[in-house]
Amino acid sequence: MKTKIEAVIFDMDGLIIDSEPLWKIAEIESFKEIGFDFTKQMCALTTGMRIDEVVHYWRKKLKWGKSLRKRGY
């Protein structure tokens, strides 16, 4: 007998599953890949923001732009 799925829960804010530690690792590794020495303390400054807000914040703060475009990012 097949079970009919009636609802799906998406946990995007860490309420059910604490994904913040994994996000910090991904954030640090991603910034390292484009040449920034990123720390856990820096991650704390953007905890709770959406990804587009995080990118906007760090793009402005670290003044990246042309230098990354030259490297192909």
Q: Is 18 a catalytic residue?
A: no
Catalytic: which of 11, 18, 37, 52?
11
Catalytic: which of 13, 18, 37, 52?
13
Q: Which residues contact 9 (CB under 8 A, 6 or more apart)?
A: 16
Judge whether 11 and 17 are in contact, CB under 8 Å. yes
Q: Is 37 a catalytic residue?
A: no
7, with CB counted inside 10 A (0-12, 13-18, 19+), is: exposed
What are the catalytic residues? 11, 13
